[in-house]
Amino acid sequence: MRDNYITDALKAIPDPNILINVVSRRVKQLKRGNRPLVESLEQLTPEDTALREVIEGKISYELA
């Protein structure tokens, strides 16, 4: 994972525990074949794709 993506994602979701849960759930979905919500000219890992989705506001979360 890219450090700058993690830093930027923490600005969108400030709690690291919630960020880890959101990203890990999205990575599982991407590995099962779900399409990415962001486009990239370079080949990104599922982890980097999930972080970019958080950074760009494509993924949100709710606390129960």
Domain span including residue 29: 3-55
Does 63 map to a domain? no
Share the mean pLDDT of the chain. 95
Answer yes or no: is 64 within a domain: no
Cβ(52)–Cβ(5) below 8 Å: yes
Residue 63 binned pLDDT confidence (cut-offs 50, 70, 90): confident
CA–CA dist 64, 40 (Å, integer)? 33
Whole-prediction pTM: 0.92
Residue 11, in any domain of the structure: yes
pLDDT tens across 17-46, in order?
A: 999 999 999 999 999 999 999 998 899 999
- Angstrom CA distances, 57 to 17, 39, 61, stand at 18, 13, 10
In a domain, 19, yes or no: yes
In a domain, 37, yes or no: yes
Q: Rounded mean pLDDT of 46-63? A: 95
Kindly state whether residue 62 falls inside one of the protein's structural domains. Answer: no
* 61 falls within a domain: no
Our count of domains for the chain comes to 1
Residues 47, 5 contacting (CB under 8 angstroms): no
